Structure 1
Amino acid sequence: MVSKSTGNWCQLLLNKIVFITGGAGHIAKAIAKTCYAHGACLVLGDLDLEKTNKVKDEILENENDKENRILVVELDVTNETSIQQAVQATLDKWKTIDVLLNTAAIATVGNIEEVTTESWSRVFDVNVRGYALMAKYIAPIFKKQNSGSIVNIASTLGLIAIPNAVPYSATKGAIIQLTRNLALDLGSFNIRVNSVSPSGINATTTYEIGESVGMNKNQLDEFIKGKCLQRVCQPEEVANLFVFLASNLCPFMTGANLVLDGGSTIA
């Protein structure tokens, strides 16, 4: 049976329980705001509870949240006990989870001779293993209800190469393939898994990576202006794509990696 994308366009995630990892991050904040505006109940998971609660407060600044639609949980995506506790806290409050948005990430850059073994382990633990572990503990919930959507944040650096970004780029390529394999393994349970690959986003991580290849903010902005749409991607644009993939607007899309780069990888 084909599910239909009906309902209010302004409430694409109405009453959906949306779990967001890396909830204190700049991109996660934009995603959380947009999901909330579309009627979702949010779980914001992060190690930094102070920053995550600030994100919650900012979302609710002009809202009357009588329904208490935002839950903040402490979450270390590299620790299985922490994940289990965060998932259980969500189930205690809302009984289920409908959407998993994996946005937790760190940016480890440098040339191959300089990056330490510890740095390699850490970046893969957070950016790849963390996504797999989140899927491990939320997939059974999705299977039980025969529905669910997982959206992973990847990057155009998982598709193209730039100097001195080996560890970070390798994790992003791994996320794209992880997404495909999860889509294959979970598809028979009506669980969709997709990824989003933005190019340079107007966020701290983009400029940190720029610095690693010898570009300051102004130089990176000028470089980006030489591309098709001549600007950086805004976090809100990433958020809109996450909502699209999380919602019922695309019930037949799974295993896809949607590139949001203003044409930067074609020229």
Structure 2
Amino acid sequence: MADRLKNKVAVVTGGGRGIGSGITTRFVEEGATVVIVQRNAPSEHMLNDRTFFVEADLSRSFDIAKAIEWTVQRFGGLDILVNNAGIMFEKTVEETSEEDWDQMMTINLKAPFLLTKMAVPHMRRRGGGSIINIGSIEGLGSNPGHLAYSASKAGIHGFTAAVAVDQGRDGIRCNAIAPGWINSDLSDTYIDSLPDSARVRRELLIMHPVGRLGEPRDIGNLAVWLASDESGFVTGQVYVVDGGRTKKLPLPVS
């Protein structure tokens, strides 16, 4: 076990599955205490003497405040916040209702704002901290039907820069990770639901110059660095982690 995050206290929203689980696992391996904040309990195997769960509906400001306060009271402070939890649906601008839009912005953009707002005073009292927002390559481009999702992730990228500028004086850094395709139970279910899933998997691999799809630990590895003192001169940045997908120009043949 390494100790780059030894004695650090972290909150990871949605830390019990997918990308969040990769972040939680790597943080614990590096010595941090992690509080998973999400609606449903994570798998029992994830919980131990340094990994805890606080149930919260991130559409409710009361639940968000409760999660941050529980963490601070239980562990004496807060050093790291990872705004990872989010939702996604596929609808064009004409198909998207006002209620759809509001739901996306509430979970993907407003919740990170409220979590950050509530975490900053506690980080300031510790002499600083690291905020890591999970954006997306869809904050830089978009897949069809991802109007609201792309807008929310572009907002996260802008939010990241603004927090970095405002809170740098407090020793608080803020960066974002923009993942590409990351394997998870949800992505597997989605691919398996398609008519020709085998072809989709082959074409997905072709899209990635590294020759594989991403894993939750790929994001967790970068999150560890951004949370640690090794990245002490890094703030306001958006790191694309996509296996080179967004750098590969499309051709009629592969």
> 1:48 maps to which residue?
40
Which of 21, 28, 44 does residue 13 from structure 2 map onto?
A: 21
Counterpart-to-counterpart distance in 2, 1:206 and 1:42: 25
SS of structure 2 residue aligned to 1:197: strand
1:260 and 2:247 aligned: no
> 2:251 maps to which residue?
none
TM-score, normalization by structure 2: 0.90
- Deviation sequence 1:225-267 (CA, Å, 0-9, x none): 2231132111111111111111111100000001101111111
Percent of aligned positions that are identical:
30
CA spacing shift, 1:161–1:138, aligned 2, 3 Å:
same
Which of 35, 52, 64 does residue 71 from structure 1 map onto?
A: 52
CA spacing shift, 1:73–1:18, aligned 2, 3 Å:
same
SS of structure 1 residue aligned to 2:169: helix
- Deviation sequence 1:205-224 (CA, Å, 0-9, x none): 54678799x88643432222
> 2:203 maps to which residue?
223
> 1:3 maps to which residue?
none
Structure 1: any 5+ residue segments left out of the alignment?
A: 1-8
> 1:86 maps to which residue?
67
> 2:184 maps to which residue?
203
- Deviation sequence 1:53-104 (CA, Å, 0-9, x none): x2xx3235xxxx5xx3222111222222111111111122111000001111
Letter in structure 1 aligned against 2:91: G
SS of structure 2 residue aligned to 1:122: helix
CA spacing shift, 1:245–1:130, aligned 2, 3 Å:
same
- Deviation sequence 1:151-176 (CA, Å, 0-9, x none): 01011111112211111111111111
SS of structure 1 residue aligned to 2:201: helix
CA spacing shift, 1:100–1:113, aligned 2, 3 Å:
same
SS of structure 2 residue aligned to 1:162: coil
1:58 and 2:38 aligned: no
Letter in structure 2 aligned against 1:109: E
Taking only aligned residues, the RMSD between alpha carbons, in angstroms, comes to 2.1
Counterpart-to-counterpart distance in 1, 2:243 and 2:57: 33
Counterpart-to-counterpart distance in 2, 1:220 and 1:238: 23
CA spacing shift, 1:171–1:156, aligned 2, 3 Å:
same
SS of structure 2 residue aligned to 1:163: coil
TM-score, normalization by structure 1: 0.86
Counterpart-to-counterpart distance in 2, 1:42 and 1:180: 25
SS of structure 2 residue aligned to 1:150: strand
How much has 1:143 moved relative to structure 2?
A: 1.6
Letter in structure 1 aligned against 2:81: L
1:99 and 2:86 aligned: no
Letter in structure 1 aligned against 2:157: I
